[in-house]
Structure 1
Amino acid sequence: MSSITSKTSNRKDSFEQASKEIPSKWQGFKDSFKRAESSSSPTTQNLTDVEKAIEQTAKSPLKKNLKKRQLQMIAIGGAIGTGLFIGSGTALRTGGPAALLIGWGIVATFLYCTMQAMAELVALFPVSGSFSTYATRFIEPSWGFAVGWNYAIFWVIVLPLELVACSLTIKFWESSINSVAWVAIFYVFIMVLNLCGNKGFGEAEFIFSIIKVVAIIGFNILAIVIICGGSPKGGYVGAKYWHDPGAFTAGFKGVVTVFITATYSFAGTELVGLTAAESEGNPRIVLPKAIKQVFYRIIIFYMLTLTLVGFLVPSNSTELIGSSSDSSASPFVIAIRNGGIQALPSIFNAVVLISLLSIGNASVYGFSRTIVALGEQGLAPSIFAYIDREGRPLVGFLLCAIVGLLSFVAASPVQSTVLAWLLALAGLSTLFTWFSICVAHVRFRMALKHQGRSTEELPYIAKTGMWGSIYSAVMLVIVLCLQFWVSLYPIGESPNASTFFENYIGAVVVLVFYVGHKLYTKNLKIIIPVNELDIDSGRRDTDLDKLQQEILEEKEKLAAQPWYIRLRAFLF
């Protein structure tokens, strides 16, 4: 009898225990949205504003969950999207195939220098906000405020931009479903991904990037076959479109006009630097390796691909974006369709759609991480610094979700106009971000020299050095000035205020934020003196002797490897 009673009691206890586990899981889910405990120092009252910003961003409670493979794929294919697949069509029609290569090629040179500068900084300072934080500590808080908000605005605008582009891409299949329904589906999909934290973002970008990389490699092989006359239609294509309608459509001004589209197509390349504070591995090893692969993305996925597109699609094609009602057509899809291949246009259009979703996914991540860093630095309301126990910047996420509702402009007859405004704003904003990275790197090197310290203490040294950053900064200023010229005097048009602000509004945004912060803080200091720059706070590796010993051992170990291993390490 006692045995039966004991078994009954045990079953009852097991049932009660199981009953307790159900609400505990629910409670755990609810508790995950509570504010995370920060590891920051409890008192910062004796610190300056810049020192407080450094302290807060260096000890942000963001989760370090992003894996090495995810960071590598984000660097390789994460930013491939609207600019390449769709924006290149507008650039081809505006400037011609030669302008396409010149514009992208010039932008690629100073982008590479910019990425090298960023690699050096993020390997040393893997802090929250990355380059927006560097602007505050190495240049000046008002500039950090302007650039940080500029970058945040860029990403929050990209989300509706990509969702609208998705609805345009869907029209390729002549779907009877209202475009707003598709926007709603994609909107929910992206929000759910980012609600899963950086794990959801990282894994999604890993899969998206693989699809994009494979698709572009496949397209390049197919394009070569078509150019050589191997398509179902047959006939050698060669360079006939370079002769008729011609290599250039609008001369020098056409090349300058292509710059802004080229800049936008590369926009987001710097996003891998924003992941520094959430990298699972050692940032000094993982991030520079990932950033080095940007060079191959530029050569293979942009320069080679755009060269082939210029051979296959005439610049006067009525199917290119902005020239017909079929605005969902990508020049890549047009190239395949012109080759007489039946199934592939739809398949590649699906790849374009995936690419747009990828950038939309990245936009939520980019905005939420930038705005949380601004909140931590005191450059945005403190509520934006809210990070929950799962490492999610919830307030930034919610604001991005609200602004993302602008994507329902897809139902409006002015969707093409809205797309053009958003594209121009986002592209110009990128120039200021890259400029800020380069200037911050130059200022850091100046402070390092001022303190009599060597680059040997750096975990990664930019291959382009300080002069590469100077070159990049100068080129970005030149491009900004040239963009002012073509915005004021657009191709084939008289000066028009609407056209000017449509193409140059990004500069106005930065100026307003910079001057506004100066007036609000009453801080007239233009730049932080070199002797006041802090080049130690926020380091992941604080023991310099140990760091130098580790680097020396790694070099000696690599030197003992076969030549092909050393070559692979140099290239990748």
Structure 2
Amino acid sequence: MRKTFKARHLTMIALGGSIGTGLFLASGGAIASSGPGGALLAYTAVGIMVYFLMTSLGELATYLPDSGSFSTYGTRFVSPAFGFAIGWNFWYNWAVTIAAELSAATVIIKYWFPDSPSILWSLLFLLLMFGLNFLSARGYGESEYWFAIIKIITVIVFLTVGVLMIFGILGGKAVGFGNFQLGGSSFHGGFFAFVGVFMAAGFSFQGTELVGVAAGESENPRRNVPLAIRRVFWRILIFYIFAILVIGLLIPYTNPDLLRSGIDDIGVSPFTIVFNKAGLAIAASVMNAVILSSVLSAGNSGMYASTRVLYAMAKDGMAPRALGRLNRRGVPVGALLVTTAVGMLAFLASFFGDGAVYNWLLNASGMCGFINWLGIAVCHYRFRRAFVKQGHSLEELPYRARWFPFGPLFALVLCLIAVFGQNLGAFTGGSIDWYGILVSYISLPLFLLIWFGYRWFRKSRIVPLDQCDLSTHPE
């Protein structure tokens, strides 16, 4: 594959993958559910976990840059069965994300065109994503660069306006910390509410791992990947923490609009509420456009990432060989066509209601992201142990993750909490919500079925540490 991504592309791919509807919309519900203090704590905890995961992925991706990162690392450092399962899990996660984001886009566009058919917009947006990815990896990288720029500018403007309002320079008198300590505490809703916000925060940060896939097409991954990780993490954490702090200070967490913020009502996005308070009359239209660009960015990233991983699995014999072919521009067209076909699930939005289909797809794929993160932690832990076991010096690593082994183990524990706490509310009501359990947890038994099924069928076993393949050039 062609090496086309520069450091700026990797930086914006990671930034763009993590700043989106989770910040622009879900942050309002997080504050309403757990209070501003609970939301800050949850997002900070997830941010620390993501930091450790990013450094783990950085160590793997700089040593072995490969577009099939998750599948390749799982196969080499855990077992072929684990690599097979984690690869298909990653592909499914991002392929379904295409459909989910297209469904969301059809809802958002109806803000301006309420009577237009969903199927038309789904088709147009799908063709746009396909075209950007069909041109070349550079086409995806450039489009994602500008999508990310739009989101970053929006967040910076929001933070600037928010700070001016907090100190009374805009919007009247200074608000102080009254809303933050409403009711005598900045925490609200108890333990289960906090766990729910933790889940939402985890989903919001998903996408940062795409830099591992893009490393396989980077001009100089040993320089660009660590640079992107250092640039991205602190910016993301600052954006999220400061945004939630601003929202918590300016909007009481008892405001019912925060719970209603979603793709079907951009007018109650916490960003829109703050901009309206500042007297910006066109806030709703502007935020609608920004959120539309965010969901298209997420779908665009999903198409790129799932296509590359499917291509890599085909090269390794874990997917049909025909999907492992490149055209003259270095694009795996077969894998792209298959992934695009899955994206056509978004057309269901025209038949079953836009918001309902979006939420179902979102919930069904939500756990897959946490499983991917678990895979990163496990692969890095075993890679480092194998590296030392086989007599290598840590000085040989082009990028070394700090805090090993605490980092990957800490991330592993939090990911397990996220996986099993995905929908605790389904177990704690007056009766068990079996449908909610099915939607929330279906990805876990499917992953285990694929893992152990492949292990049984191919007689795959855990690779001993002294036999892990540490060659730096994928076969």
Structure 2 equivalent of residue 200 of structure 1: 139
Structure 1 equivalent of residue 32 of structure 2: 93
1:73 aligns with one of 1, 12, 18:
12
- 2:231 & 2:97 partners in 1: Cα distance? 24
Instruction: Determine whether 1:510 maps to 2:441.
Output: no
Instruction: Determine whether 1:454 maps to 2:384.
Output: no
- 1:243 & 1:328 partners in 2: Cα distance? 27
Summarize deviations over 1:487-516 as a string: whole Å, max 9, x none.
433xx6632101112222221221221122
Give the secondary structure class of the aligned counterpart of 1:123: helix
Structure 1 equivalent of residue 237 of structure 2: 299
Instruction: Determine whether 1:520 maps to 2:423.
Output: no
Summarize deviations over 1:409-437 as a string: whole Å, max 9, x none.
33345432322222223331111111111
Summarize deviations over 1:321-378 as a string: whole Å, max 9, x none.
6579953442212222244321233223211211111111111101100111111122
Q: Aligned partner of 1:151: which letter? A: F
- 2:263 & 2:393 partners in 1: Cα distance? 59
Give the secondary structure class of the aligned counterpart of 1:242: coil
Q: CA deviation at 1:477?
A: 1.7
Structure 1 equivalent of residue 225 of structure 2: 287
Q: CA deviation at 1:452?
A: 2.4
Distance 1:383 1:314, change over 3 A: farther
Structure 2 equivalent of residue 181 of structure 1: 120
Instruction: Determine whether 1:530 maps to 2:465.
Output: yes
Distance 1:386 1:486, change over 3 A: farther
1:496 aligns with one of 433, 436, 443:
433
Instruction: Determine whether 1:445 maps to 2:384.
Output: yes
Instruction: Determine whether 1:240 maps to 2:178.
Output: yes
Q: CA deviation at 1:213?
A: 1.0
Summarize deviations over 1:461-497 as a string: whole Å, max 9, x none.
11333321122112212332333644433xx663210
- 1:468 & 1:222 partners in 2: Cα distance? 36
- 1:325 & 1:454 partners in 2: Cα distance? 50
Distance 1:186 1:321, change over 3 A: farther
Structure 1 equivalent of residue 408 of structure 2: 469
- TM-score, structure 1 normalization: 0.78
- How much identity, in percent, do the aligned residues show? 37
Question: How many residues are paired up?
Answer: 473
Structure 2 equivalent of residue 565 of structure 1: none
Q: Which moved more, 1:199-208 or 1:492-501?
A: 492-501
- 2:403 & 2:445 partners in 1: Cα distance? 31
- 2:80 & 2:331 partners in 1: Cα distance? 25
The answer as to whether partners of 1:487 and 1:503 remain within 8 angstroms in 2 is no
Summarize deviations over 1:282-329 as a string: whole Å, max 9, x none.
211111111112222232221111221222334343434657995344
Q: Whose Rg is larger?
A: 1
Q: CA deviation at 1:168?
A: 2.4
The answer as to whether partners of 2:72 and 2:83 remain within 8 angstroms in 1 is yes
- 1:413 & 1:439 partners in 2: Cα distance? 39
Q: Aligned partner of 2:432: which letter? A: P
Give the secondary structure class of the aligned counterpart of 1:132: helix
Q: CA deviation at 1:210?
A: 1.3
- 2:381 & 2:57 partners in 1: Cα distance? 11
- 1:325 & 1:449 partners in 2: Cα distance? 49
Distance 1:102 1:528, change over 3 A: same
- TM-score, structure 2 normalization: 0.93
Give the secondary structure class of the aligned counterpart of 1:203: helix
Give the secondary structure class of the aligned counterpart of 1:293: helix
Unaligned runs of 5+ residues in structure 1 are 1-61, 541-572
Give the secondary structure class of the aligned counterpart of 2:392: coil
The answer as to whether partners of 1:157 and 1:426 remain within 8 angstroms in 2 is yes
Distance 1:375 1:326, change over 3 A: closer
Distance 1:260 1:473, change over 3 A: same
Structure 2 equivalent of residue 334 of structure 1: 273
Q: CA deviation at 1:146?
A: 1.2
Q: Aligned partner of 1:494: which letter? A: S
Give the secondary structure class of the aligned counterpart of 1:483: coil
More contact order relative to length (CA 8 Å, sep ≥ 6): 2
- 2:165 & 2:430 partners in 1: Cα distance? 37
The answer as to whether partners of 1:264 and 1:423 remain within 8 angstroms in 2 is no
Pairing 1:25-424 to 2, within 5 Å after superposition: 62-173=1-112, 175-232=114-171, 234-244=172-182, 247-280=186-219, 282-320=220-258, 322=260, 326-329=264-267, 330-412=269-351, 414-424=353-363
- 2:409 & 2:228 partners in 1: Cα distance? 23
- 1:97 & 1:336 partners in 2: Cα distance? 19
Q: Aligned partner of 2:120: which letter? A: A
Q: Which moved more, 1:435-444 or 1:425-434?
A: 425-434
The answer as to whether partners of 1:488 and 1:495 remain within 8 angstroms in 2 is yes
- 1:325 & 1:222 partners in 2: Cα distance? 23
- 2:14 & 2:289 partners in 1: Cα distance? 22
Q: Which moved more, 1:181-190 or 1:367-376?
A: 181-190
Distance 1:172 1:271, change over 3 A: same
The answer as to whether partners of 2:426 and 2:434 remain within 8 angstroms in 1 is no
Distance 1:326 1:362, change over 3 A: closer
Distance 1:325 1:156, change over 3 A: closer
Structure 2 equivalent of residue 7 of structure 1: none
Q: Which moved more, 1:68-77 or 1:148-157?
A: 68-77
